[in-house]
Structure 1
Amino acid sequence: MTETTHLLVVDDDREIRDLLTRYLTRHGYRVTAAKDGAEMRRFLADRNIDLIVLDLMLPGEDGLSLCRSVRAEGGPPVVMLSAMGEDADRILGLEIGADDYLPKPFNPRELVARIKAVLRRAQGTSHAGPVATGSVHFCGFTLDQAQRRLTDKDGQEVALTAGEYELLVALATRPRRVLSRDDLLEITRGRSAGPFDRSIDVQISRLRRKIEPDPADPTIIKTVRSGGYIFSPEVSAP
């Protein structure tokens, strides 16, 4: 990443905003800070933001609602922060579209590592290897790796977060091969993955809702008992 990478820190605690602004600036990022959702929206409207560091508990509109709005509008990746460290809160944040989640208190070095990992995924330089540029077709969908987009049989784009996109690429380019959660974490997140990371299961669930005819009875991304997941349909290139 370079000093032109622009981060938006959204937290109602001025001390935390100032601390993160100083720390992230020292690591070469350009940083804008907002105290609430209204400021966040204003900055997103008139500045080119590459990633949002978003606190869950905010006055007025909370972080979950703001993250959902960012996803619906096709906004930048989101790393969510929260003093609520329970699994249920973390999973909820990931389900509504956060690209990563970090409980407070946290080590700023870990935040930087997670920001870098999310930006790598968003910019197509993940640990999955060299960036592919071709398209693959499956079940009426087209996964265009040059444009980093998924379209359905009618040519309509299916909105994916950076994490969902990388996970789909990992699966669709390795069809009919059982991939464990650890395999998928390594491919999509590399060393930023932590122990007991459940984000793969959350993202699989979100992907199924977007591409499966019946998410409750998946036929595209199947679960392998005690193994992981397998991308089952036939995949073809143009």
Structure 2
Amino acid sequence: MRDQPSSVHILLVEDDDTIRRSVGLSLERYGYRVSSAPDGLTGLEMFRETEHDLLLLDVMLPQLDGIGLCRRIRETSQAPVLMMSARGDALDVVAGLEAGADDYVVKPVDTTVLLARIRTLLRRATFTAPMPADDDTGVLSFRDLTVDTRGLEVHKDGTPLALTPTELRLLLEFVAAPGVALQRATLLREVWDYGWDGDIRVVDLAVQRLRKKIGADHIETVRGFGYKFRR
């Protein structure tokens, strides 16, 4: 992943011509390189032809909607995905996050919020700093799960797991404090870098996706509070 906006390539998939142009121009004004598509199938073709650092997808798209497009992207890529929902509708948001999106914004899009979410996702994807570990190798083991906190690799029963940057950051937060109950608000702040009240559904659905990959028994729900990683 590249660090400078001028070298960051974003794929914007939005069927509304006015919104597509305005969002694209706003991103380019801040130095990002933007490719755009008016429908889901065209967006999928562009995704397959060219590497992109981040994908910005509208939920409601012709031919292949944003939810389906996100699922297809997640079959081969762990690149950050940010969804745009016209109404902030609960079903749209949940469906997008369940499909593998990292976060969402509500249309009409506030440029300040959009840029903040993009920068956060890009920082998360370039995360390389080692975390404190119990030994010199930085490798932590939890039954069938092995987490290399320095090499940023996760194995389950010896098989490497493909985690999105968000899922990896979430897991690192958990393994840094096994047995400690972590509030959803804490996870929003540390993983999603929210400086304001965020949507806890983002946390719940990210935990749900992570459980499917590492095994549901590793993460315990603390009702009315948050989650903790089992020792």
Normalising by structure 2, what TM-score? 0.88
Deviation (angstroms), 1:98: 0.2
User: Using the alignment, how far apart are the partners of 2:199 and 2:54 within structure 1?
Assistant: 25
In structure 2, the partner of 1:48 is 51
| Residue in 1 that maps onto 2:95 | 92
Deviations 1:33-53 (A, max 9, x none): 111223223322332210000
Structure 1 Cα separation of the partners of residues 106 and 142 of structure 2: 37
Query: What one-letter code is carried by the residue in structure 2 that aligns with 1:222?
Result: E
Structure 1 unaligned spans of 5+: 234-238
Deviations 1:124-178 (A, max 9, x none): 16xxxx443833221211223344332211x322232221111111001111111
Deviation at 1:197, TM superposition (A): 3.0
Q: Secondary structure at the match of 1:190?
A: coil
Counterpart check, 1:163 vs 2:166: yes
Deviation at 1:75, TM superposition (A): 4.2
Structure-2 residue corresponding to 1:232: 230
**Which one of the candidate residues 83, 86, 89 is aligned to 1:83?**
86
Structure 1 residue 85, shift from structure 2 partner: 1.6
- Matches of 1:24 and 1:157 in 2, distance apart? 35
Contact residue 114 and residue 192 of structure 1 kept, 8 A: no
Structure 2 SS opposite 1:74: coil
User: Structure 1 runs of 4+ off > 4 angstroms?
Assistant: none
Aligned residue type for 2:106: P
Counterpart residue number, 2:141: 137
CA contact (8 A) 1:71 1:97 kept: yes
Residue 205 of structure 1 aligns to which amino acid in structure 2?
Answer: Q
Cα separation, partners in 2 of 1:192 and 1:149, compared to 1, 3 Å: farther
Q: CA RMSD in A?
A: 1.9
1:182: how far off? 1.1
1: CA distance between counterparts of 2:195 and 2:84? 16
Q: Is the 8 A contact 2:97 2:206 kept in 1?
A: yes
Identity %, equivalent residues: 39
Change (3 A) 1:137 1:196: same
Q: Could you report, residue by residue, the CA deviation over 1:172-228 in whole angstroms, capped at 9, with x for unpaired residues?
A: 11111111111111111223553443211111122222222xx4xxx3211223332
Distance 2:172 2:196 in 1: 18
Change (3 A) 1:85 1:165: same
Unaligned runs of 5+ in 2: 132-136
1:123 maps to a residue whose letter is T
Three-state SS of the structure 2 residue aligned to 1:191 is coil
Query: 1:6 aligned to 2:4?
Result: no
CA deviation digits over 1:96-130, x for unaligned, max 9?
100111121120111110011111111116xxxx4
Separation of aligned partners in 1, 2:196 and 2:154: 25
Farther-moved stretch of structure 1 (59-68 vs 182-191): 182-191
Q: Which residue of 2 aligns with 1:39?
A: 42
- The one-letter amino acid of 2:221's match is T
1:177 to 175, 180, 193: 180
Query: Residue 91 of structure 2 aligns to which amino acid in structure 1?
Result: A
**Structure 1 residue identity aligned to 2:149:** Q
The AA in structure 1 aligned to 2:186 is: D
**C-alpha distance in structure 2 between counterparts of 1:193 and 1:208, whole Å:** 26
